[in-house]
């Protein structure tokens, strides 16, 4: 194991559920503190589900210490693994129910407060026993009690808000706590004066209705926000829920129904028509068409027969299948996808960092603005620069409260994570796995797509169209020798040759035994048969190994290659035996995809290890102008680097098998259509079905997501920046009225709700 790997092994990743987060300022605070802690490599907290992902070095920091740090900041973390998902869901549901109940009570109480205060001022009917004109004291005390009750229901704002304020890291709750407390305390003072003087005019100075209405609007806003947050994570739950719970195990000719958790590798399960496939495995008997939409987003069923792979959560349409399990339930493809998407939803797009930085300074700035603007107005009025139509103290109180309330940056904080969450969920539904917010943001900026040839532009279903022999060797012998080597190969060429031979010779036994098999990536394969050294691969392989020169046959081969056929050459010791000519079938949609990319100003390149003539011929038929051919897998990434040096933003799309370095080098690496672990790991984005059109959908989705984020940020930002000067007295200069703190609360609640609604629009993306 080299140093790098050892380094990696010490790093642990952990998901934490963090309670007490109410806004982006909290998130920024936790992230800033932890990222400055020794031993913490990476931290990202997502406000849409209050889950933090922490990567830390076990050698230099213990998880307990991380917990302590978070607790010291005023939040309570739990390990996510410790949480039972079902339990969590119940807890969330219960919380929502409680919230709804609380909001209802608050709405009713604050409506009464509102009715009494407004009614008394505007002369609407109020029953005598509580009418200030008849019963001033009862009226005032009723308002006082109702408001106090409402504040008790909303006590969380005060406990969290003031706590954070005293920790010198005020957050959104602090703004609400200070604002409503100011209104409340002033009203208490007026209540006391009413009690002493019985002066009816003083009721105009009561601000109980502001305090209650602010709380009411914000609670409703929070409730709606949480309601839709729940809706979003449903997408992932749906994905995971799609796994069935039971499977029919075949054991000693008996069929037992057992839990899927108890299924072991190599167990055999029976799947009847219409049933969901419970495990990842290989078909050992039967044939059927299988709907894999849950994994690939592709709704056309796939035909499965013996030796084909099937995946948990897909639906067996019409046949009976016997399947041998290849992975435990927790390692199944669908579990991995669900995990991957969930992790992705927590990562941040670079654009979110801006919002984070703003939020961190925003709240203290708002408190300062509130204090400054009310002080300024106080001085202006006191020294007669402006005259106001009411008590100066009430005047500046209104300004102070409105500024605090309208400037809550919570919509700003929600803008990006909300959209990324909905967007990546939608992607998963369409068979597009986006692994990070960063990949998403980069994808919509690309101007160049580099396609791998085999398996990406073509179907990688190669057919042997000819076998050319040398020195009277039988063509069957060539096929037999070639297939004996290729039996060990994973390469599409290898698979094609082996499959063809098997069809021709019916059994495996006619093939030769091979020793010392070696795949030379990008060149071919070699092995020994009865002590003879056999080489099979491209020209370069033979040139290198047997100093081989094609001479007179060259013209034939070049002509075949110019038609787009791949040729592999076979040699025994130092003798050229013959060649196999293979043709691949283009994917139906390849040509349209290239055309569509062209239409949106994205250049297409083809990158292949195959011969130049073959590559050019295929590129021509697809309308690709740029061909990079005869490149070793190891050198493919250098070609991507070259393109990047020309200031191109490059997406590389390949099957992920021997393209990993290139996928990693590209600005965005996209793996296509293979249900393999390598693909999931090596790429930034994985397209779960082989249809290249998904690439276009992915680019469109990334554009839609980024546009959505920008809309959200724009509205949140405009709203906050315009709101502050208006609340700070700007409106008074224009109209002679101050912004009512209740209106401030209403708009502030609405702005969060509108951000959430806008993000949810992405659910309708097609």
Catalytic residue among 291, 452, 603, 610: 452
Work out what residue 524 binds among ligand ADP, Mg ion, none; the CB cut-off runs from 5 to 8 Å by kind.
ligand ADP
For ligand ADP, the closer CB: 317 or 480: 480
**What span, in angstroms and rounded, lies between the C-alpha atoms of 462 and 482?**
15
655 counts as catalytic = no
Phi, psi of 692 (to 5 degrees): -65, -20
**Secondary structure in 3-state letters for 110-160:** HHHHHHHHHHHHHCCCCCHHHCHHHHHHHHHHHHHHHHHHHHHHCHHHHHH
Shortest distance, position 689 Cβ to ligand ADP, whole Å? 20
Shortest distance, position 417 Cβ to ligand ADP, whole Å? 38
For ligand ADP, the closer CB: 146 or 568: 568
Choose one: 122-130, 185-193, 206-214, 447-455; the region binding ligand ADP (CB under 6 A). 447-455
Residue with tokens 């932890």: 34
Query: How many residues touch ligand ADP (CB under 6 A)?
Result: 22
Q: Which DSSP string corresponds to 223-247?
A: HHHHHHHHHHHHHHHHHHHTS-SEE
Tokens standing for residue 100: 């709804």
For ligand ADP, the closer CB: 223 or 517: 517
Binding of residue 147 to ligand ADP (CB under 6 A): no
Select from 24, 538, 691, 702 the one that contacts ligand ADP (CB under 6 A): 538
Phi, psi of 97 (to 5 degrees): -60, -45
Pick the closest to residue 650 from 392, 145, 659, 112 (CA basis): 659
Work out what residue 453 binds among ligand ADP, Mg ion, none; the CB cut-off runs from 5 to 8 Å by kind.
ligand ADP
Choose one: 25-33, 35-43, 291-299, 485-493; the region binding ligand ADP (CB under 6 A). 485-493
Work out what residue 570 binds among Mg ion, ligand ADP, none; the CB cut-off runs from 5 to 8 Å by kind.
none
Shortest distance, position 540 Cβ to Mg ion, whole Å? 16
Choose one: 152-160, 210-218, 255-263, 535-543; the region binding ligand ADP (CB under 6 A). 535-543
Binding of residue 487 to ligand ADP (CB under 6 A): no
Shortest distance, position 513 Cβ to ligand ADP, whole Å? 18
Bridge partners of 269?
249, 323
Task: Write the burial class of residue 24 (CB in 10 Å: 0-12 exposed, 13-18 middle, 19+ buried).
Answer: buried
Residue with tokens 């830390």: 56
Residue with tokens 């996928």: 663
State which residue has the least CB distance to ligand ADP. Answer: 609
Please say whether the beta carbons of 429 and 235 come within 8 A: yes
For Mg ion, the closer CB: 120 or 682: 682
Choose one: 106-114, 128-136, 349-357, 450-458; the region binding ligand ADP (CB under 6 A). 450-458
522: left (phi over 0), alpha (psi -120 to 50) or beta: left
Q: What is the Cα 229 distance to its own chain's centre?
A: 14
Bridge partners of 582?
464, 566
Work out what residue 537 binds among Mg ion, ligand ADP, none; the CB cut-off runs from 5 to 8 Å by kind.
ligand ADP
Work out what residue 610 binds among Mg ion, ligand ADP, none; the CB cut-off runs from 5 to 8 Å by kind.
ligand ADP
Query: Any residues with CB less than 8 A from the CB of 557 and at least 6 apart, and which?
Result: 468, 550, 567, 579
Binding of residue 310 to ligand ADP (CB under 6 A): no
Rounded to the nearest 5 degrees, what angle is found at the Cα of 574, between the Cα atoms of 568 and 579?
20
Residue with tokens 């408001």: 147
How many other CB atoms are there within 10 angstroms of residue 121's CB atom? 11
Please say whether the beta carbons of 107 and 98 come within 8 A: no
**What span, in angstroms and rounded, lies between the C-alpha atoms of 87 and 89?**
5
Shortest distance, position 453 Cβ to ligand ADP, whole Å? 4
Please say whether the beta carbons of 220 and 103 come within 8 A: yes
**What span, in angstroms and rounded, lies between the C-alpha atoms of 329 and 240?**
11
Binding of residue 658 to ligand ADP (CB under 6 A): yes
Shortest distance, position 160 Cβ to ligand ADP, whole Å? 57
For ligand ADP, the closer CB: 348 or 453: 453
Binding of residue 633 to ligand ADP (CB under 6 A): yes
451 DSSP assignment: E
Shortest distance, position 633 Cβ to ligand ADP, whole Å? 5
Choose one: 88-96, 325-333, 505-513, 604-612; the region binding ligand ADP (CB under 6 A). 604-612
Please say whether the beta carbons of 518 and 534 come within 8 A: no
Shortest distance, position 566 Cβ to Mg ion, whole Å? 12
Please say whether the beta carbons of 586 and 458 come within 8 A: yes
**What span, in angstroms and rounded, lies between the C-alpha atoms of 173 and 159?**
9
For ligand ADP, the closer CB: 77 or 654: 654
**What span, in angstroms and rounded, lies between the C-alpha atoms of 567 and 538?**
7
Select from 342, 526, 603, 610 the one that contacts ligand ADP (CB under 6 A): 610
Select from 281, 413, 427, 537 the one that contacts ligand ADP (CB under 6 A): 537
For ligand ADP, the closer CB: 30 or 450: 450
Shortest distance, position 585 Cβ to ligand ADP, whole Å? 14
Site string for ligand ADP, 545-584 (x = CB under 6 A): ---------------------x-x----------------
Catalytic positions: 452
Give the residues lining the site for ligand ADP (CB under 6 A): 452-454, 486, 489, 491, 493-494, 522-525, 536-538, 566, 568, 608-610, 633, 658
């Amino acid at each position: 194991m080299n140093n790098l790997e050892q380094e990696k092994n010490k790093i642990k990743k952990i998901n934490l559920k963090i309670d007490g987060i109410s806004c982006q300022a909290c998130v920024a605070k936790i992230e800033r503190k932890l990222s400055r802690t020794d031993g913490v490599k990476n931290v990202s907290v997502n406000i849409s589900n209050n889950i933090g992902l922490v990567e830390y070095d076990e050698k230099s920091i213990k998880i307990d210490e991380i917990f302590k740090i978070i607790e010291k900041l005023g939040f309570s973390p739990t390990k996510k693994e410790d949480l039972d998902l079902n339990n969590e869901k119940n807890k969330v549901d219960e919380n929502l129910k409680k919230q709804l109940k609380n909001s209802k009570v608050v709405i009713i109480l604050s409506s009464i407060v509102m009715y009494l205060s407004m009614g008394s001022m505007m002369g609407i009917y109020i029953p005598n026993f509580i009418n200030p004109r008849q019963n001033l004291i009862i009226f005032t005390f009723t308002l006082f009690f109702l408001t106090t009750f409402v504040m008790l229901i909303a006590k969380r704002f005060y406990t969290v808000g003031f706590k954070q304020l005293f920790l010198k890291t005020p957050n959104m709750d602090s703004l609400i706590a200070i604002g409503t407390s100011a209104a409340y305390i002033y009203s208490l003072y007026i209540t006391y004066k009413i009690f002493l003087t019985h002066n009816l005019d003083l009721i105009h100075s009561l601000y109980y209705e502001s305090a209650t209405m602010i709380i009411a609007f914000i609670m409703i806003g929070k409730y709606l926000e949480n309601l839709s947050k729940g809706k979003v994570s449903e997408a992932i739950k749906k994905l995971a829920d799609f796994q069935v719970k039971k499977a029919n195990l075949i054991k000693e000719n008996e069929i037992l129904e057992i839990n899927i958790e108890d299924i072991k590798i190599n167990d055999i399960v029976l799947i009847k028509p219409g049933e969901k496939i419970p495990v990842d495995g290989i078909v050992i008997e039967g044939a059927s068409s299988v709907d894999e939409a849950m994994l690939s987003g592709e709704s056309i069923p796939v035909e499965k027969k013996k030796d084909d792979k099937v995946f948990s959560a897909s639906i067996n349409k019409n046949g009976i299948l016997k399947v041998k399990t290849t992975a435990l339930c927790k390692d199944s493809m669908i579990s991995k996808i669900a995990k991957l998407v969930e992790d992705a939803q927590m990562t941040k797009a670079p654009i979110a960092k801006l919002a984070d930085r703003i939020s961190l300074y925003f709240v203290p700035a708002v408190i300062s603005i509130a204090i400054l603007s009310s002080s300024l107005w106080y001085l202006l009025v006191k020294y007669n620069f402006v005259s106001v139509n009411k008590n100066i103290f009430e005047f500046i109180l209104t300004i102070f409260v409105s500024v605090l309330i309208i400037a809550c940056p919570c919509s700003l904080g929600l803008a990006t994570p909300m959209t990324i969450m909905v967007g990546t969920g939608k992607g998963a539904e369409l068979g597009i796995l986006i692994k990070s917010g960063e990949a998403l943001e980069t994808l919509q900026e690309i101007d160049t797509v580099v396609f791998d040839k085999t398996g990406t532009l073509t179907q990688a279903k190669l057919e042997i169209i000819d076998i050319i022999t040398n020195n009277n060797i039988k063509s069957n012998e060539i096929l037999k020798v070639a297939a004996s080597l290729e039996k060990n190969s994973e390469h599409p060429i290898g698979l094609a040759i082996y499959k063809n031979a098997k069809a021709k010779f019916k059994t495996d036994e006619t093939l030769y035994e091979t020793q010392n098999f070696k795949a030379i990536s990008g060149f071919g394969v070699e092995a020994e048969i009865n002590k003879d050294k056999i080489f099979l691969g491209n020209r370069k392989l033979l040139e290198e190994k047997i100093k081989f020169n094609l001479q007179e046959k060259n013209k034939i081969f070049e002509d075949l290659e110019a038609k787009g056929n791949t040729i592999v050459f076979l040699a025994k010791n130092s003798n050229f035996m013959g060649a196999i000519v293979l043709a691949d079938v283009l994917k139906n949609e390849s040509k349209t995809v290239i055309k569509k990319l062209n239409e949106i100003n994205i250049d297409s390149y083809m990158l292949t290890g195959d011969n130049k003539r073959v590559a050019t011929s295929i590129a021509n038929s697809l309308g690709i102008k740029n061909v990079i051919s005869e490149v070793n897998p190891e050198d493919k990434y250098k070609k991507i680097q070259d393109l990047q040096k020309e200031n191109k933003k490059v997406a590389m799309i390949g099957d992920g098998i021997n393209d990993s370095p290139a996928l990693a080098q590209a600005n965005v690496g996209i793996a296509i259509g293979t249900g393999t672990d390598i693909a999931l790991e090596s790429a930034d984005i994985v397209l779960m079905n082989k249809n290249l059109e998904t690439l276009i959908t992915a680019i469109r989705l990334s554009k839609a997501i980024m546009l959505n984020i920008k809309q959200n940020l724009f509205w949140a930002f405009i709203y906050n920046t315009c709101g502050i000067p208006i609340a700070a007295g700007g409106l008074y200069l224009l109209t002679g009225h101050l912004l009512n703190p209740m209106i401030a609360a209403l708009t502030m609640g609405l702005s969060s709700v509108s951000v959430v609604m806008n993000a949810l629009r992405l659910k309708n993306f097609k």
